């Protein structure tokens, strides 16, 4: 997964959301509702607080492999919870791109006829 350094309240890792406020809200909701407290703390430590695995493990008094396991489970849960939201965002982007192409072609056709 690609990680983007971000402020905890504004953004989070993953290029698929592109800062869309609705998708960001869905991500925050999924983190809150789909993850157990230990999974949420591990994810927040690594994603939002930019801690290393070792630092997160020390803060939680668990092994590094324990943090890695929590993160792996968290990623799977979030991927499942948000898969349709991400697909919707991708479709919206394709629709915007298509509209831009149509507008460009229309302008070129019009100018070529003059």
Q: List the chain pLDDT tens, one digit each, 114 residues.
A: 333 334 344 445 544 456 678 778 888 899 999 999 999 999 999 998 999 999 999 999 999 999 999 999 999 999 888 888 777 777 777 777 777 777 777 777 666 555
Instruction: Report how far residue 92's alpha carbon sits from residue 106's, in angstroms, rounded to the nearest whole number.
Output: 21
> Residue 29 CA to chain centroid, in angstroms?
12
Please report, in angstroms and rounded to a whole number, the separation of the first and last CA atoms in the chain.
50
Q: For residue 105, is it within any domain? A: no
Task: Give the CATH number for residue 56.
Answer: 1.10.10.10
Number of neighbours of residue 114 by Cβ within 10 angstroms: 4
Domain assignment present for residue 13? The answer is no
Classify residue 29: in a domain, yes or no.
yes
């Amino acid at each position: 997964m690609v990680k983007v350094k971000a402020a905890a309240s504004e953004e989070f890792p993953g290029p698929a959301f592109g800062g869309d406020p609705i998708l960001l809200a869905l991500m925050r909701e999924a983190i809150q509702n789909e993850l157990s407290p230990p999974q949420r703390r591990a994810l927040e430590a690594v994603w939002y607080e930019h801690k290393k695995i070792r630092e997160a493990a020390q803060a939680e008094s668990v092994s590094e492999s324990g943090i890695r396991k929590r993160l792996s489970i968290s990623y799977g849960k979030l991927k499942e919870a948000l898969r349709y939201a991400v697909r919707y965002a991708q479709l919206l982007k394709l629709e915007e791109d298509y509209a831009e192409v149509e507008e460009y072609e229309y302008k070129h056709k019009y100018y070529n006829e003059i």
